[in-house]
Every structure is written in C-alpha cells, then in structure tokens.
Amino acid sequence: MKLRVSVLGAGSFGTTMAHLLSHNAPTLLWCRRPETADEINQIHRNEAYLPDYDVSTAVRATASLEEAVREADVLVMGVPSHGMRTTLEEVAKHIRPWVPVVSLAKGLEPDTHLRMTQVIREVLPEHRAGALSGPNLASEIMAGFAAASVIAFDDEELARQLQQIFQCGVFRVYTNGDVVGCELGGALKNVIAIATGMGDGLGVGDNTRSAVITRGLAELTRLGVAMGGRPATFAGLAGVGDLVATCTSQKSRNRYVGEQLGRGRTIAEVQAAMKMVAEGVKTSAVVMDLARRHGIEMPIAREVHGVVYEGRTAEDAYRGLTRRRAGAEHESD
C-alpha cells in the first residue's frame, strides 16, 4: 500500500508540492478556506496563488485539518514560519504516532529564533522532523521546468525513502544529512534577496548585484556555520542555489519587497499590497539577534534591518555598504 501524504497549506508552494507528490502517492491538501478546497476539487485550480496552472486531478483538497492529519503517513508543512507552531498545536490533536513531518517553510520563528524542525520537535517530540529546501520557484515547477531540491533528515534511511516520494519527473531531489545548514540557508538567503532587490529598485547595476549576492553568501555562511551547519551545504542547492534563484528571479517575493523599497515605498505599503508572505522581512530581525549572539559581522543583513525596521531608505543602505572598509575576502586570509 502506498504511503498517504498530506500537505498543510495551499499557498503557491504547498499547492505545487501537493501537485508533484500526487504523482507518487495519494495526496490530500489542507486549505484554510473551504472555497479554495472546493476550487481545487471541482476545477483543479488555485486561482489565488497559481492562476496560470492546472493542479493535478489526483490531488484531493479539504478544509478540515483533522481529516488531513489523521489520514497522513507523511505530513508536509507548507504554512509560513510565523504560523507553524499554532498549526502544529492543532496537528498534535490528530496525528498518528511516528508520522514523519517535513517542513517547506524558509524562515525562523520570530520570538524563539528556532528553526522549523526545532519547532516541530518541541510540539511533536515523538515525530521525526526534516526539511525540503532548494531553488524552487513554484510557478516554474508547475510549468514543468527542471528544478532540484534537497530533503534533509538526520535519519539517512528515512531521507532516502522520502526522496522517492518527492522526486517527480524533472524535479530532482537529493538527500542531505545537514538539517541545520539546509534550514538556515533557506531562511537567511531571503534577507540577502531583499538587499539585492533594493539595489534593483535603485538601478545600481549588474556588478553591484553580483557583489551583494556573493558577499551575502559569505555572511549567511559565517552565521550558518557558527550555528552548526556544514560549510559545504551553503555551497549547494540549499545555499548558493537557493540564494541565486531568490536574488535574481522576477518571481521572488523577497526580491520584489526589496525592489519596491528601492523605489521609495515603505515596508508597510509593500506588505499591504502582497497576497503572499515574504519571509525575509521577519527573518531580518531574527538574523540580527543571532548575529549578535554568535559574534558574527553581517553588514548587508544589518542594512536590510535598518530599512525594514528603523526607517532608513534603500539609498541610505547602499551608501552605508559602499563606505564600509574592505578587508580580506576570506576570514582565513
């Protein structure tokens, strides 16, 4: 009998994962709004988040969290990081023992600074927790373009089993035992994407964009390694791969936020006009706390925080970066 998979969260990426998973396993998608569940079941579309694409007819949707959770042999969490804990507390009432839980969220919990697998372990201590992360823009996956990701679990055998469920057609999935690094790469790159977007909004040019991405990678790698991640992970799909996609794509929510800031809009104006969550906004505050805690210099992240939370402008931020003294490129130099 095939494993039954439930995906919680019918945003763009949750819906995309349900679409892919349904090719390999019976898949149930939980939607907060009954209208969304009806739309997916009846016309196989999610117009709010993926208006240009059909959802697999094999995906079944429900607005009942209890129904979605009690049927699951594998539970995939597609809710944003700030809503992860409250959703898991409801999940705990219905989940069967030992069901593995996979997080799709690329963020850190604002108050506790925990990674999503840590939140899962706190709320569901008897369940194994892992993450799927990589350069995965939902609309391109739905369009059938080739993409790659990593499934990160401490349990290598479980990672290999789940690899077979997530891998579909030209969507390739690799295993990675560095859960810490994969989660941090996915979360921290969103802050750098806001910085890159600010530059695009200001019209600073390709050379500057490349420099911000490269130095941003150095920043997130320093913090990620200090927090227990492996250096090689940040040079892989969950690190530089995800960073490049998020910093350069017109489809990237975090890059879009930065671009609008660069054009002079306030963060309140930008967020009010968005349907989807840009995780980097909240993560920028968490990152600065973590950087102070671990004694890590993160000048790009600091400038993003200044624009998002301290009333600075994107022009101020880029002026501050260009005035910073350049030292050795590598810490060991």
Q: Which residues are catalytic?
A: 189
Amino acid at residue number 163: Q
Cβ partners under 8 Å of residue 315, min gap 6: 202
The H or E element spanning position 147 is: strand 147-152
Could you tell me which residues come within 8 angstroms of residue 108 by beta carbon, excluding any fewer than 6 positions away? 81, 114, 115, 116, 187, 282, 283, 286, 287, 290
**Alpha-carbon span 123 to 77, nearest angstrom:** 13
Dihedral of CA atoms 244, 46, 64, 33 in degrees, nearest 10, equals 100
Q: In which residue are the tokens 């624009």 written? A: 307
Q: H helices then E strands: how many in the chain?
A: 16, 10
In sequence order, which residues have a C-beta less than 8 Å from that of residue 42 and are 6 or more positions away?
none
CB atoms within 10 A of CB 157: 9
Angstrom distance (rounded) from CA 181 to CA 225: 7
